[in-house]
Structure 1
Amino acid sequence: MPPHVLRAVFVAGSKNGDLNCPACKTPCELQDGGVSELKDNFYMSSLVDLVVERRKLASGQDRVCELCEDKEVSHFCTECRQYLCVNCERTHGKIKATRSHKVRLISDLNEPEVERQSIAEHDVNCPTHPESKVQFYCDTCQVPVCIACTVVDHRVPEHAHRYLSVAADEYAVQLKDTVTKLKLKEDCIDTNMTAVKKWRDKIHSLFDQEKEKVNSKAEELVQSVRNEQQRLVKELHNGRDARIKETDILIEEFEFNHTSVNSARNYAETLLNHANPVQLLSTRPEVTRRTDELLKIIDKWEEPVDGVEFDEAASDANLGRIKADACVKKCLIENFPKTVWKGDKTCLIIRTRDARGNDVIPRQILNGTLNKPNGEVVHLKFSNNYNGTLSTIFRADVEGKNSITVTIDGQAVPGSPFAFPTRTGLVRTIGNRGNGKGEFNRPSGIARDSRGNIAVADTDNNRVQIFNEALVFKDVITFPNFKNPFKPRDVGISDDNTYFMTDSGNNQVVVSKEGGQLIRCFGQDELKDPQGIAIHPVDDNVYVCSYRSNTVEVYTQDGERLRTLGSPGRGQVVLKSPYSIAIDSQGTLFVSNALEFGHVYGCDTLGKMAMESEKLEYPGGIAIHSDGCILVCNKSSFLFLRRVA
């Protein structure tokens, strides 16, 4: 087929003006010369010629010999492209100019192997000089040329030529490597495409599982929850559909890339196995460029970590709550303090009721202000407790007469504004020396539980005394049946109001309920004169100062020993007679060493030092202020130590 016909076939596969090769899918752009400027594909030209011949045979028309124009054809010369009868075929084989031609039986032309051989045997004439066969290869232009081309358009020294067979053999080696690379790329894309399809199936499974959870939970609720069930299921479907859409896009991309690579590989293999040198080299630039493009395709894919879960714990909050109008006249403040201490956080609770006096969750918005003696006004934010009460936390930081105003729909709650004094310094003193209720003999440690009760280690009275939030005596904890007298030095209280007391008389930690019911004792094997004790706010472990072993021992609340802090040679802070311990909200430990000219050390839970104070004279009790300062008892003085980072 003439080259211009092949170009027409090429253009027929284009879309919207873009040209795509029907063999390798390579996109091409038309130059200024239009279709006529496209390069000739000799292999495809030979293939088209063969198709034309096969169509002639398939037409069923009787054919006559193209030489004698008389006899029925029996052979076909693949080089002359002529049909021959038996006699002319013999003559054709005796003529010197044609005796080397390949002649095929008509009946064999439809055989695949003969078909491929026919393509390769097809003589290729130069498109510029049709009377000349292509015999050379121009390395400069990378095109097959004829002898006439070498002295006209491709003459030396501007162009370098060599025999076609030499160049073809060299390129065949490269093309073989190209086929191998394309096969690897094809396999990789196929593997990833399979993985994406499995992930798509997994997404269906995951979302189906979560959908089942939603349905199961919804069936346990009353009919009013059905609408919520449908919303949750729809949300799951939407989430699944969005992810399925993403995977479908990925699969489509992989399929497109797979098709492109597969097509290019098949084309390269066909060229390698069946094309003659002219056909082979004529496709070299396009195949090389297309191969480079395909080998750059990203073929990596990792399963996203993209799992889903239905949270049953949060479902109840989504069902909504009943709200009603609160009657301002029926609302009241339940726990307004008579006195507020400067700098302390105070919780204010507002009870909201309807006109009949029933507790309700109000539809209205509560507003509150803290009015300070210096004229400053602080707006308070209320949190709904969803039990008929709202609460706010405020801090009075100016000494003198403060007040709080609470309004609902612009109306003041009865008694508002509520005035209260804010005080600093010593407020009151409780107890005196003795062994009666509320009396002390060497009090050494103190702690406060979540109910506001205060526990005091009354050491030489061999007991721990409990006072309520108003500092009124409430109870006493004592253990008269211990081997040695109970000598409480300090008290730590857990979140569930379990008491942990150091007992220096028996070298142990005593654990009990608030009422004194003994739970367990631990630490007898390693503690020596235990003093301070604290419970870590993060890991809930118990940290105990072992005064005479110069360590802090760490236990679980069940009494299991975890580790020892302060051991020399382990890269830890070195302790000398640790007396008191406190832990800040970030979990940093602060330990006071009671020896003369001791220090306060800050360290992490593994004993690595974070802070060291200046030398102090007999540092004792230690606590953490709300602003992050460390409070230390230093013999006869009371110190504030700013924490050092």
Structure 2
Amino acid sequence: MAVSTHLDQFLNTIDDDYVACSICLERYTKPKVLPCLHTFCERCLCDCFEKHGDLNCPACKTPCELQDGGVSELKDNVFMSSLVDLENERRKLASGQYRVCELCEDREVTHFCIECCEYLCENCERMHRKIKATRLHKVRLISELDAQREERPSFVEYVVNCPTHPESKVQFYCDTCQVPVCTACTIVDHRVPEHAHRYLSVAAEEYGMQLKDNVTKLKAKEDCIDANIEAVKKWRVKIHSLFDQEKEKVNIKAEELIQSVGREQQRLVKELNNERDTRIKQTDILIEELKFNHTNVNSACNFAETLMRHANSVQLLSTRSVVTRRIDELLKIRDEWEEPLDGVEFEEASDVVVSNLGRIKADACVKQCSIENIPKKVWKGDEACLFVRTRDARGNDVIPRQKLNGTLNKPNGEVVHLEFSNNYDGTHSTIFRADVEGNNQITLTIDGQAVPGSPFEFSTWTGLVRTIGQQGNGKGEFKSPLGIARDCRGNIAVADTDNNRVQIFNGALIFKNVLTFPNFKNQFKPRDVAISDDSTYFMTDSGNNQVVVSKQGGQPIRCFGQGELKDPRGIAIHPIDGNVYVCSYGSGTVEVYTQDGEHFRTLGAPGSGQVIFKGPHSIAIDSKGTLFVSDSVQLGHVYGCDTVGNMTMESEKLENPRGIAIHSDGYILVISDSPYYWNRGFYKLNRQGKIVSKFGGNESVVNRYDGIVFNVDNISRVLLSDWLNHRLRVFVM
């Protein structure tokens, strides 16, 4: 029987791509399928496992975990086994081995029994159908089978017997174990209800549909991978171009650096050559001078020897004065020479900058060095900068090889070592703070030798530094300024009381903004200001007996306190609980509010068993939450208390105490607006309320201070409001 051309092609394909093990290159023997779906002979997989001690797929290297049974426990590739059998059968058919009936071995083959796997002639096929045991077998015409196989070359329709019960055909599928089973299996090893099974054809049809859907998805995935492969190939080509561009940048930069290094090298070498040539020239001059001296000495020596040998007494004595004077001059010539210590040194750059290889340092001649911008007077708390210029013996600026040392001797006996910065241009600089009033002394040395001008003295001063503003209603002008506050950004707010506004300045006291509120019932009369951490302004308004809250833009957010406050003055925000504390001068109390304006507590009311106020004017709160209130009526004290009014401090008596400021070190500054000018100014109190010192009050003009705040840049400076002269004053204490 002839085999079609398509069948020949299929048999060749089967042999090459499907039924040959990629390890042994032979047809599969007991093929086993791995989890990655690659198939190999059982024996080949056993050899791999024995060789390596574990099993990775020989094709894709995917690890395969084996059970206790080893390779034999892997799933059999039943499909591949059937395909091998089919291929063997077809090759026998193609070679003519099955051209005659396998039963009668006489007539030509016309049929094939699927279940017996036998080729039959027409007569034997009729007998096959009559025998009771085989009459229900599936028998196909060879021509039909070939046509079906040609349409679907991989079609396999052999009847498969159960591996557990070889006498029984596989007819069912166990969904629980996911294996095909025979009828006997459903009774013995796969009984219901523990196992669920159904007809093999139903399960195969369902799985075939799932497989078809998955194949569609896999093909889409394959197309996507193909597209990625092409994209990666394009990227692979692009990588060369990309890196070539960057290499070109590297080469260009390297060339620039090479040129820069070359220029730096030439500069340093030129500097060394110039210095060498200068010193060689000086050496040549010295040699010529020595030669000249040598000639003069030799000439005088020859002249004297000639006189001794040839002159008579008269001749000898007649030249005595001239010869003696000349010899004395020549003997005074310095005849010892020491090698100068004027060294030179190349110092490599400490920072990794290719264009800066280093510097040429030389010995400085201390006598040629000088101190520049020597201060005569420095305000206490201010910083001063000192410059020292270093020169060599010829008076040229040099970067010295020696170390510059300096000490600051303060009036209180404290000695501070000054650290100098080398500016690498022939100058050194240092910054120091003058924080003790009196005469200071600075000593500067190089290699233990005092720099010319050292030591020198300067004075640290205290007192009035500057005045800001004048009477008026323009920007930066005032009319009876009272309370002052500073926010966390350094901005200064001033209650410009009789101008009915609050002015805002930056830390340098340059005008920024103004807050006015013209729509109140009575004129806005600010007495003091407090500023929260979020830059919200809280202002006491004695004209309307309230607290006005706004942002820096000027729009009022809320007003509160009309029911409790009488002539409100000082105001402060507690740094811990955030509450607002207001001095109600008219009622002799301190009223406590939340920042939303809700009344919280009253402090200092008569009969409350707490601290008693007569006329609380100003309030300040330290970082620990202690309140300090100045009482300017009758008693004239500053009281310290906690947030419920328990007194913790009572100061010494002061005359009309007003504004209060708390230093970071804990001491308290209090304005004294005494009717007697010699008592005016501000006092420094310790935490026990004792007066430590007094500042101000001796200015050339009569001042009346009210508000006080520390300057943002210098804690030795305070800003005072002078309500009598309508201005602000900066004072160093």
Q: TM-score, normalised by structure 1?
A: 0.48
